[in-house]
Structure 1
Amino acid sequence: MTDIYDIYAVRYGHHFRHAAANFVGGDPHDAPMPLDYFVWVIRGENGTYLFDTGFDAAMAAKRKRDLVRPVEDGLRLIGITPDSVREIILSHLHFDHCGNHDLFPNARYHLQDVEMAYCTGRCMCHPVLRQPFEAEDVTNMVRKLYEGRVVFHDGVSEIAPNLIAHRVGGHSKGLQILRVLTRRGWVVLGSDAAHFYANVEEARPFPVVESITDMLDGYETMKRLASSPRHIIPGHDPLVLRRYPLHHPDIADIVRLDLDALG
């Protein structure tokens, strides 16, 4: 039997900003273009996987973001308790993707080698490069490493059948995306390889970037790996909630990405 997965995008946060902040070189229109914050649940016959872990209330206050719903509450709405999570894949170690350190006591974490080397090495001597990271997040990942709870990957890795991590870099040096087989074909969860649909569609990089070349190449990698452009899921675009069916009609910020897009 072919392994296929259900995918849920679970929004947990929001941040208002204008379009000029979302593109290298700004934007001539500079209309409102806010960020939404998500974690993603990938559920199949061989297990449940969490892609990224978000941030908690303390980090929301520190970074001046809106916590719409704590991550654990969003997970419970799709029948997942944090202590039941066994496998977590981290796209990268920026503050909004790897927090909630003590929420998943039974999970092991999948991470690219180069991401850990990047955020613990000489590049962090530069304030502009370390700004998206939090020392607490990085040191907590080191503690998990010494607890035997980190699995490292290098480049392309099959996490499970038809659930494949690809390192693309760009936004962060060790950023990885996921290629996931669903009933509608191969979906690519881009996380911060593209914050918005517009980044990919217009080849306009997001300004928090380690390598613009790798970011642009990452757009092409996502197009190659996805069954179609409509199978690419950006990491922070509020349009995701409008383009995909709701998991439950009374919950506006959890959608199913394994089902056909609306419209």
Structure 2
Amino acid sequence: MSDSWKVYAIKYADRNTRTRADSFIFDDHPAAQHGMDYFVWLLTNGDRHILVDTGYDSTEANRRDRPILRDPSKALEVMDVDAAKIDTVIITHLHYDHAGGLDRYPNAIFHIQEAEMSFATGPCMCHDTLRMPFTADHVCDMVKHVYSGRVVFHNGPGQVAPGVRVHCVGGHSRGLQVVDVDTEYGPLCLASDAAHYYENYLLRKPFPIVENVESMIKGYDTLFRLGGTQGRIIPGHDPLVTKHYPSIGQSGFVWRLDTGPDKPF
């Protein structure tokens, strides 16, 4: 089994009614339109598939009035991957758009940070502002998986598989973790919401949904330490990912990341 992985971004939703004020603190053009794409990420080495985040489903889409383009678990089928056969899922954090539809992966072990579970089930959830990005049903599903022995907790850095590691950075959510993957192109860092957009980490402009601003800014340094270059640091929601990385097949919603960008930034 190879320790070098192929990495794919799979887009399942977008939201184009946002402005730059929704994406950056202290932006110079807060009223300008600023779209957002929603992804899950698939890692494969030929013998094994690992999913990073699970997105959200149609029930959550209706509840929040944020439609999805496709169910993330069904979107995997275009890669000839059966969600029921996924044995490992990394949950970067428990916000609604990263941890929904856990029941679609009945044979998976879930990897999450201790700090995230504590945050999502603790007294901070008594505050509307901190609770808003979470969905109670998603968190309760994860608690049930803890009780059924299907959760691996990490307390800081941890190895998920040979060539796949997680690192806790916090900031956006207290237990947010990023994923560090060995590829033929070099170490690839899936930033998830440690950087929603390239601008967040390149210009050090924090995202407005934030639990700890200092941790968020320090997290940008961690991204560079892990990925090294812009081409190997993948933000969690930036539509530019779909412009700079090669698309796969005829689906129109899968991009390959581990070969590097095919268009310059």
Where on the TM-score scale, by shorter chain, does this alignment land: which range?
over 0.9
2:146 aligns with: 145
Please state how far the C-alpha of 1:215 moved relative to its aligned partner. 0.4
Preserved CA contact (<8 Å) 2:102 2:141: yes
Please state how far the C-alpha of 1:260 moved relative to its aligned partner. 2.2
Spell out the pairing of 1:191-206 with structure 2 (5 A cutoff): 191-206=192-207
Structure 1 segments of 4 or more deviating over 4 A? none
Alignment gaps of 5+ in structure 1 = none
Q: Aligned partners of 2:206, 2:73: CA distance in 1, in Å?
A: 31
2:100 aligns with: 99
Preserved CA contact (<8 Å) 1:20 1:27: no
Spell out the pairing of 1:1-263 with structure 2 (5 A cutoff): 3-16=3-16, 17-28=18-29, 30-45=31-46, 47-248=48-249, 250-263=250-263
- Provide TM-score, normalisation by structure 1: 0.96
- Residues 86-123 of structure 1 show CA distances to partners (whole Å, capped at 9, x for unaligned) of 00000000000000131111111001001000111111
Q: Aligned partners of 1:212, 1:235: CA distance in 2, in Å?
A: 18
Q: Secondary structure at the match of 1:177?
A: strand
CA gap 1:148/1:29 in 2 versus in 1, 3 angstroms: closer
Preserved CA contact (<8 Å) 2:2 2:45: no
- Shifted more, 225-234 versus 206-215: the winner is 225-234
Q: Aligned partners of 2:133, 2:200: CA distance in 1, in Å?
A: 19
Please state how far the C-alpha of 1:46 moved relative to its aligned partner. 5.2
Q: Between the two proteins, what is the percent identity of the paired residues? A: 42
Query: Comparing both structures, which one devotes a greater share of its residues to strand?
Result: 1
Superposition CA RMSD, Å: 1.3
- Residues 120-169 of structure 1 show CA distances to partners (whole Å, capped at 9, x for unaligned) of 11111111001100111111111111111111001000111121100000
Q: Aligned partners of 2:199, 2:73: CA distance in 1, in Å?
A: 30
Alignment gaps of 5+ in structure 2 = none
Preserved CA contact (<8 Å) 1:84 1:106: yes
Aligned length: 262
- Provide TM-score, normalisation by structure 2: 0.96
Q: Secondary structure at the match of 2:243?
A: helix
